[in-house]
């Protein structure tokens, strides 16, 4: 489903990064990577003229971003302008000054018009992608939806046309303080999301083997 | 600064949880906990009638949420309606059916009118709180801002008046499948954010001791 020759990111005026232009990334692969790694997206809507931001499960297939209708996405009928933002915090930047503290992160912003998915094949493919996004392997191990379950799960699609990626990497920006005689420690604390524990459903025998595709503690 | 007797959460009609009302939490301490634990907030604005969602550093002092103006928050002059959403993904819920897969999470939604912070004491307190939020201990170890740095950092405040917290906890909702003869594994993969590594600023001697307040790998 992945396009072989995806075009580079071509932000429109409003999706162009305004602050810290050096943090703008133009690589479509980087957009994909951010969307694919994140476990949650934040969906922005305008409701009665005011902003609303809802956490939403998402998944990407090729150049389309899908949003799971268990959140406010279910209220969308299609055609509404939306903004979906996905952020990964990769590290914390400890500096010599409050002012130069920062976070290393990658964030993707996708804007466009919401499209309600109605095609049954696309609908099923999106639900499969949602499962694979949060629990890879389960899309084959677990039972696909019944027709009723499919009808009960609204899915919103958004083309990855108007999208931008911003990232900060690297150490603190005030390294010149060292030459000036400031020897306080500074650096980066890298972060990662890890498995803290795996709990078997209490309805099952406790010794039910955990399948190999389920992640486990390191 | 913490109020001793904070009122319980009293959502207005639009901030009340509409879907999965059983997931609504009414405890103000839970709102505080979500805001205090998260490393990033998502700020929703209306720009030219369309939604925009920007990742933003945040910090809470008492019943006020502060947003760091290094993001789009800097474009706010005050008075604009905003929606700030903070989400923590606590676990992945592996179920027997695609349909019953889910995520355990806690999310806070705060709505209101942005207020630009102009009082110097409040401004400094907010910047201190930003540092303490992402790098606790650094607010004392690192150098406070100069007057120029202070002026260069816009801060937006939002009262925690119109706020709601939603959470999902526990195992998969389809445990009844076991009695019906389905013995496939199901359960919860709990997640946590951990330190993946600590890197000293390359401008420093490599053997510069890392202060005790800096988190390290387990």
Rounded CA separation A85/A107 (Å): 7
Element (H, E) at A132: helix A120-134
* Residue A195: closest C-alpha in chain B: B191
* Residue A148: closest C-alpha in chain B: B99
Range A20-35 average pLDDT: 82
pLDDT in tens, A62-102: 999 999 987 666 778 889 999 999 999 999 999 999 999 99
Length of chain B: 218
Rounded CA separation A99/B82 (Å): 25
Closest CB to A143 among B96, B139, B210: B96
Average pLDDT, chain B: 90
Interface test with B, best of A20, A43, A44, A130 (most B CBs within 10 A): A44
In CATH, what class is A21-190? mainly beta
Q: Complex ipTM, two decimals?
A: 0.90
**Comparing A42-56, A189-203, B70-84, B142-156, which segment has the lowest mean pLDDT?**
B70-84
Confidence of residue B186 (pLDDT cuts 50, 70, 90): very high
Q: What are the residue boundaries of the structural domains of chain B, listed by start?
A: 21-90+103-170
Q: Supply the pLDDT for residue A18.
A: 55
CA distance A136 to chain B (A): 10
CATH code that applies to domain B21-90+103-170: 2.30.110.10
pLDDT in tens, B133-169: 999 999 999 999 999 999 999 999 999 999 999 999 9
pLDDT in tens, B3-19: 333 445 554 555 555 55
Confidence of residue B22 (pLDDT cuts 50, 70, 90): low
Closest CB to B171 among A51, A111, A202: A202
Closest CB to B46 among A50, A74, A87: A50
Interchain pair B185, A199: CB under 8 A: no
Range B62-69 average pLDDT: 95
Task: Identify whether the C-beta of residue A92 lies closer than 8 Å to the C-beta of residue B135.
Answer: yes
pLDDT in tens, A102-148: 999 999 999 999 999 999 999 999 999 999 999 999 999 999 999 99
Interface test with A, best of B107, B123, B201 (most A CBs within 10 A): B201
In sequence order, which residues have a C-beta less than 8 Å from that of residue B160 and are 6 or more positions away?
Answer: B28, B31, B60, B63, B64, B65, B110
């Amino acid at each position: 489903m992945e396009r072989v020759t995806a075009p580079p990111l071509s932000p429109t005026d409003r999706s162009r990064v305004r602050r810290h232009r050096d943090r703008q990334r133009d690589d479509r692969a980087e957009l994909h990577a951010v969307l694919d790694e994140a476990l949650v997206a934040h969906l922005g809507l305008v409701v009665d003229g005011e902003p609303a931001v809802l956490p939403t499960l998402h998944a990407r297939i090729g150049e389309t971003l899908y949003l799971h209708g268990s959140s406010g996405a279910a209220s969308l009928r299609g055609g509404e302008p939306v903004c979906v933002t996905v952020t990964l915090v990769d590290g914390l930047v400890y500096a010599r000054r409050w002012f130069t503290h920062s976070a290393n992160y990658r964030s993707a912003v996708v804007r466009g018009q919401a499209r309600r998915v109605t095609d049954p094949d696309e609908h099923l493919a999106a639900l499969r992608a949602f499962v694979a996004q949060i629990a890879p392997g389960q899309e084959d191990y677990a039972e696909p939806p019944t027709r009723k379950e499919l009808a009960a799960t609204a899915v919103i699609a958004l083309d990855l046309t108007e999208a931008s990626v911003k990232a900060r990497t690297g150490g603190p920006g005030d390294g010149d303080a060292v030459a000036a005689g400031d020897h306080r420690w500074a650096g980066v604390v890298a972060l990662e999301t890890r498995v803290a524990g795996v709990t078997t459903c209490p309805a099952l025998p406790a010794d039910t083997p955990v399948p190999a595709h389920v992640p486990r503690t390191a």
